[in-house]
Amino acid sequence: MIQTVAENELSVNEKLKIRKNTYQNGKGKRISIVTGTHGDELEGQFAVWLVGDYIKKNIGCLNGTVDIYPALNPLGIDSITRGIPGFDLDMNRVFPGFSEGTMAECVCNAIVEDIKGSEVCVDIHASNIYLRELPQIRISRDTAESLVPLAKMMNIDFVWVHESATVLRSTLAHSLNSIGTKTLVVELGVGMRINKDLGYQLLNGIINLLYELGMWSEKPDFEVRQPIVSFDGAVGFVNSDASGVFVSDVEFGSEVEKGDVIGRVLNPLTAESEPVKAVCSGLLFTLREYPVVYGGSLIARILSREEEN
Amino acid sequence: MKKQIIYSLKSPYRENLDVIGFTFGSGEKSACIVGSTRGNEVQQMYICSQVVHALKKLERQGEITEGRSIMVVPCINYYSMNIGKRFWTMDNTDINRMFPGYEFGETTQRIADGVFRQVQGFKFGIQLASFYQSGDFLPHVKMMKTEFSQPEKMLEFGLPYALTRKPRPYDTTTLNYNWQIWETQAFSVYSYGTETVDEKASQVSVDAILRFLSAEGIVRANVKPGYVSRIIEENTMQQVHTEHGGIFKTLVKIGDTVYEGQVLGEVYNPLDGEKICEVKADKCGTVFFIYNKPLIMQNSVAYKIVDF
């Protein structure tokens, strides 16, 4: 059943509508799956299509309600705009919104109110256009105890438990977690693209989550990946010190040793180059996708082998 | 006056981004004034340039108090200004959401870090800020409410209104907020206009800044008296929303006194010209903010009304 969660008149002959599709069978729990907060992140579009398609074809296995919100920022997706077009606002800095506020605040508030009360919310993000990410779930330290067990059900490669930054209090995940709706933030892939394999990986994760929550009757017939759970201290950041064009010399997702050359920053004018080296040994889970870099541009993140648990 | 590059960033395809700071006087770091952090804040840069101009003159006349120094940074993100973009050229991040910055972080974190190292440690910090909403508003000064802030200092600017704002999570990475965390009394001065230069409005801001610097004994400037300001909590202002989207026409002007129930503006159907709704004041007061674009969405803040 397709429902409108929030709507707002635009200026000329059109309404902004945030819609969800509800799949229901039995009286079990409810989970919500949301994506499309950033208009340039499309990996979630394929993933939620797969989930919807799978549930429709196997509705008898469902015991409960699955709400799928494919586009929290439909104008952004439509115009390849990361934020809310016309506002220069990152929607994920407006939550929980305010029912008496501006258009963006009203819409964000309606979304939170609609998702509130779900057993779990899965908030799917892709990376931006600059970086490629291995499938991961990000959890702030203060919610780790309740969320890490759920994250382990999601068939992802690793879980990154990070310190909670004040600025992140305006995210959908923080807003929902702070009112008791357990919310997992999934990051995967790269902006403006769809990687089908990642979509299938996430589909399996969500079906397994449903099974573990008692909302899916059939035990999944695949082996669920057991993620590495890492804390901030285990993640090494590689930022470029040079400006130029980055070309990678390693495979994304590979193991690297401290000091290995990950790639080079080229100066096309002088034909010079600067090597970019691994700051620690471990798994290269983030790698620069967009080649042009400034000093400071993030090139890679490495999950240090030494502090894995 | 000393002109120096306070931060420099190499670009792959452009000349270095050299952030310029002007220092007047010497000794105690008394006041720092920062202009545009975004590419569309032309008025804010212009106001700073006029402050530089005024301080040059005061320095020549020996009117900068001995043992006091002032730094002015008119423009941080001129890379974006030169190509007509608001946020950072490459990744569209907002430098004014990156403070206090991080030396080893992403590009805009590094810019924020480099600039913040130079602008921190002053007794007072003044940022020429712009509104994220499209609209015209009365000139005012604003201060984040923190344990460190002294709102009564805002009265020394002599602007018609002085606002306090309880910081929201997304405010915690602004220059203003971080100045306060590092024990600089920080103010944001808001002038009419952002992408255009309004001479009259810029003079109001320049006068307000010089008035403040004079009141604090940092300079001796001959500035005409200002207003007797009132300090108002920003969230006590009445926000008047539109019930429908369409073509917006205002019937009142900034600074007008309005009464309860007065029709402030109208929204018309953009296709057939029929009036869709009226925008009315809930209570009497002074018009502080007016949305200034012809097209408006439902639930947009069309007006803000302040109690007289």
Q: Do A103 and B109 touch (CB under 8 A)?
A: no
Contact A294, A252 (CB under 8 A): no
Residue A309 falls within a domain, yes or no?
A: no
Q: CB contact, 8 Å: B246 with chain A? A: yes
Residues A210 and A255 in one domain: no
Q: Cα angle vertex A227, ends A222, A228, to 5°?
A: 155
CATH number of the domain to which A247 belongs: 2.40.50.100
Task: Give the DSSP H/E element, type plus range, for residue B302.
Answer: strand B301-306
Rounded mean pLDDT, B15-30: 97
Residues A135 and A284 in one domain: no
Percent of chain B topping pLDDT 90: 87
What's at A193, amino acid-wise? Answer: R
Residue A68 falls within a domain, yes or no?
A: yes
What does the radius of gyration of chain A's CA atoms come to, in whole angstroms? 20
pLDDT at B229 > cutoff 80: yes
Task: Give the DSSP H/E element, type plus range, for residue A111.
Answer: helix A103-115
Q: What is the pLDDT of residue A263?
A: 98
Q: Is B248 exposed, middle or buried (0-12, 13-18, 19+ CB in 10 A)?
A: buried
Residue A273 falls within a domain, yes or no?
A: yes
Contact B93, B108 (CB under 8 A): yes
Phi-psi bin for A287: left (phi > 0), alpha (psi -120 to 50), beta? beta
Residues B199-217 have pLDDT tens digits of: 999 999 999 999 999 999 9
Closest CA to B73 of B26, B131, B112, B19: B19
Which of A194, A226, A258 corresponds to the end of one domain?
Answer: A226
pLDDT at B268 > cutoff 50: yes
Closest CA to B303 of B185, B168, B76, B136: B136
Q: CB contact, 8 Å: B79 with chain A? A: no
Q: What is the pLDDT of residue A167?
A: 62
CATH number of the domain to which A115 belongs: 3.40.630.10
Cα(A286)–Cα(A284) distance, rounded to whole angstroms? 6
Query: What residues does each domain of chain B span?
Result: 2-233, 237-306
Which residues of chain B have a CB within 8 Å of the CB of A17?
none
Which of A171, A202, A226 corresponds to the end of one domain?
Answer: A226
Phi-psi bin for B101: left (phi > 0), alpha (psi -120 to 50), beta? left
Three-state secondary structure call for residue B266: strand
Task: Give the DSSP H/E element, type plus range, for residue B202.
Answer: helix B199-215
B contact test, residue of A11, A41, A99 with most B CBs within 10 A: A11
Minimal C-alpha gap between B61 and chain A (Å): 42
Residue A265 falls within a domain, yes or no?
A: yes
For domain B2-233, give the CATH number.
3.40.630.10
Residue B176: phi and psi, rounded to 5, are -55, -50
Closest CA to A104 of A146, A75, A70, A67: A75
Q: Which residue has the higher pLDDT, B71 or B308?
A: B71
Q: CB contact, 8 Å: B110 with chain A? A: yes
Residues A28 and A132 in one domain: yes
Q: Shortest CB distance from B86 goes to which of A88, A101, A103?
A: A88
Phi-psi bin for A57: left (phi > 0), alpha (psi -120 to 50), beta? alpha
Residue A72 falls within a domain, yes or no?
A: yes
Query: Token match 């901030």: residue?
Result: A232
Residue A264: phi and psi, rounded to 5, are -135, 150
Q: What is the pLDDT of residue B46?
A: 98
Number of A–B residue contacts, CB under 8 Å? 97
Q: Shortest CB distance from B245 goes to which of A11, A101, A237?
A: A11
Residue A74: phi and psi, rounded to 5, are -60, -35
Residues B51-88 have pLDDT tens digits of: 999 999 999 999 999 999 999 999 999 999 999 999 99
Please report the residues numbered 12 through 41 in chain B whose beta carbons come closer than 8 angstroms to any beta carbon of chain A: 12
Residues A206 and A237 in one domain: no
Contact B3, B22 (CB under 8 A): yes
Q: What is the pLDDT of residue A306?
A: 67
Q: Do B133 and A102 touch (CB under 8 A)?
A: yes
Residues A29 and A101 in one domain: yes
Residues A218 and A242 in one domain: no
A15 beta partners: A9
Q: What is the pLDDT of residue B270?
A: 97
Mean pLDDT taken over chain B: 95
Q: What is the pLDDT of residue A231?
A: 80
B contact test, residue of A243, A269, A272, A297 with most B CBs within 10 A: A243
Minimal C-alpha gap between B202 and chain A (Å): 25
| Alpha helix ranges (H) inside chain B | 42-60, 78-82, 107-119, 175-181, 199-215
Q: Do B300 and A106 touch (CB under 8 A)?
A: no
Q: Do B245 and A9 touch (CB under 8 A)?
A: yes
Cα(A28)–Cα(A120) distance, rounded to whole angstroms? 13
Q: Do A130 and B246 touch (CB under 8 A)?
A: no
What is the ipTM, given to two decimal places?
Answer: 0.83
Residues A282 and A218 in one domain: no
Q: Shortest CB distance from B170 goes to which of A82, A167, A267?
A: A167
Q: Which domain holds residue A265?
A: 232-304
- In chain A, the number of structural domains is 2
Q: What is the pLDDT of residue B133?
A: 77
Q: Do B169 and A168 touch (CB under 8 A)?
A: yes
Q: Cα angle vertex B13, ends B9, B18, to 5°?
A: 25
Q: Do B12 and A293 touch (CB under 8 A)?
A: yes
Which residues of chain A have a CB within 8 Å of the CB of B302?
none
For domain B237-306, give the CATH number.
2.40.50.100
Residue B281 gets which letter from DSSP? -
Strand bridging mode A158-162 / A228-231 = parallel
B25 beta partners: B69
Three-state secondary structure call for residue A206: helix
- Residue B12, preceding peptide bond in cis (omega within 30° of 0): no
Residue A157 gets which letter from DSSP? S
Which of A177, A198, A226 corresponds to the end of one domain?
Answer: A226
pLDDT (tens, 9 = 90+) of chain A, 309 residues, equals 999 999 999 999 999 999 999 999 999 999 999 999 999 999 999 999 999 999 999 999 999 999 999 999 999 999 999 999 887 788 998 999 988 888 899 999 999 999 999 999 999 999 999 999 999 999 999 999 999 999 999 999 999 998 877 667 789 999 999 999 999 999 999 999 999 999 999 999 999 999 999 999 999 999 999 999 988 778 999 999 999 999 999 999 999 999 999 999 999 999 999 999 999 999 999 999 999 999 999 999 999 976 544
Residues A271 and A298 in one domain: yes
Percent of chain B topping pLDDT 70: 100
